[in-house]
Amino acid sequence: MLVEIDGSIYEGGGAIFRNSLALSAATQRPVKVFRIRAKRSKPGLRPQHLMVAKALTRMTLGKATGLAIGSQEVIFYPQRVLGGSYVLDIGTAGSITLLLQAILPAAVFASSKVKLKVIGGTDVPMAPPVDYFHHVFLPALRDMGVIVHLKLLRRGHYPKGGGICEVEVDPVNVLAPILRLERGEITRVSGVAHAVRLPKHVVERIASSAEDALRRHGIEGVEIKRDYRPNRGHLGPGAGIVLWAIDDLGNVLGADALGKRGKPSEQVGREAAEKLIKEIQSGCPVDRHLGDMLIPYMAMASGRSEIRVSCLTLHTLSNIAVAEKILGVSFSVSGREGAPATIAVEGAAIRRS
């Protein structure tokens, strides 16, 4: 039976399309997504969304209609998920991590190991930076039994892109549930500050300002790696920072900030530090961005998952709506949008075919 998803619900952005196709591919349940990105200034598919659809169609030996820039309706008929090696070139500075968010739910149930070489943006606005993906999101997936290896070969920033990541995914037969309700004591804060094709003092100023801001809140011993890349084949300049805090229960909270022309380096570091401090002060074990990223996996897992998030976002609510529609699960949400919330679900126990 064809599941119909209205792409205009909640924030009405690309996440609804990506998650619909991701869960469709993982479960081999066909979907029709209409009014795609209806609330964006340029509705319909953009190059990065088109790449998601084409990649999943290829990986699942599927069929799809409506695959064109600007299309606001796509029908997707997946079959089984195939392992193997794939090169995915977004062709723009479209986010590599957003593409991976759509690919990974299917790849974890592939017939064999999946190897990806993805070309696009690694550190771009409105998307998780690659270092957040690596140090915050992937450890959470490990708790659910999923092993993903990610190697950053080259950074890519808006507008030129050109970043390169290599990813390997070891498939599983079934996902374990995740339980993150309690926050422990913060034992370590780490991070990566980077600057590409910019003066070396940029990365030092970003990292030092983050360290100073954290120190003013009583957080000592912060370890921030300086990743300075003067050229090394990168297409354009860019800078940013990702910070993460680890507690004694193994929870990881993350925060980030990007540089841009006219934005002082000190502001970039301070912004990321203040975001992380806010996450720590929430007392929750799951940050606002990790919360929405975990929803598809919680819905597919075998058993009851339950998490406490620092902020219930529209992204999280839209991901819940899509998962409920495609998988037939029922989430319980205790909390309101914009505030801390507890999210629970009895997963659909999806298994590798």
Which tokens in the block code for residue 161? 């892109």
Amino acid letter at 111? S
| Active-site option among 134, 157, 194, 315 | 315
The region of weakest confidence among 85-99, 138-152, 161-175, 227-241 is 227-241
Indicate the pairing of strand 223-229 with strand 186-196: parallel
Cα gap 157→135, rounded to integer Å: 19
pLDDT, the chain, mean? 96
Give the model's pLDDT for residue 210.
Answer: 98
Give domain status of residue 123, yes or no: yes
Which tokens in the block code for residue 3? 């599941």
Q: To which H or E segment does residue 133 belong?
A: none
Give the model's pLDDT for residue 234.
Answer: 80
pLDDT grade for 135, boundaries at 50, 70 and 90 = very high
Give domain status of residue 39, yes or no: yes
Domain range enclosing 243: 186-282
Give domain status of residue 137, yes or no: yes
Give the model's pLDDT for residue 92.
Answer: 87
Structural domain ending residue among the three candidates 282, 303, 323: 282
Query: Position of tokens 């949008």?
Result: 337
pLDDT grade for 138, boundaries at 50, 70 and 90 = very high
pLDDT grade for 350, boundaries at 50, 70 and 90 = very high
Q: Say how many domains are in the chain.
A: 4
Looking at the structure, tell me whether residues 264 and 290 fall in a common domain. no
CA distances from 39 to 10, 17, 318 (A): 9, 13, 13
Looking at the structure, tell me whether residues 193 and 217 fall in a common domain. yes
Structural domain ending residue among the three candidates 282, 309, 333: 282
Cα gap 245→102, rounded to integer Å: 26
Looking at the structure, tell me whether residues 337 and 264 fall in a common domain. no
Active site includes 315?
A: yes
Q: CATH number of the domain that 274 lies in?
A: 3.30.360.20
Looking at the structure, tell me whether residues 233 and 292 fall in a common domain. no
316-333 confidence digits (pLDDT tens)? 999 999 999 999 999 999
Looking at the structure, tell me whether residues 92 and 166 fall in a common domain. yes
Give domain status of residue 343, yes or no: yes
Which tokens in the block code for residue 37? 């990105």
234-274 confidence digits (pLDDT tens)? 888 999 999 999 999 999 999 999 999 999 999 999 999 99
Give domain status of residue 99, yes or no: yes
Give the model's pLDDT for residue 284.
Answer: 98
What is this structure's pTM?
A: 0.96
Q: CATH number of the domain that 62 lies in?
A: 3.30.110
Give the model's pLDDT for residue 230.
Answer: 87
Give the model's pLDDT for residue 127.
Answer: 96
CA neighbours within 13 Å on the CB side: how many for 43?
Answer: 12
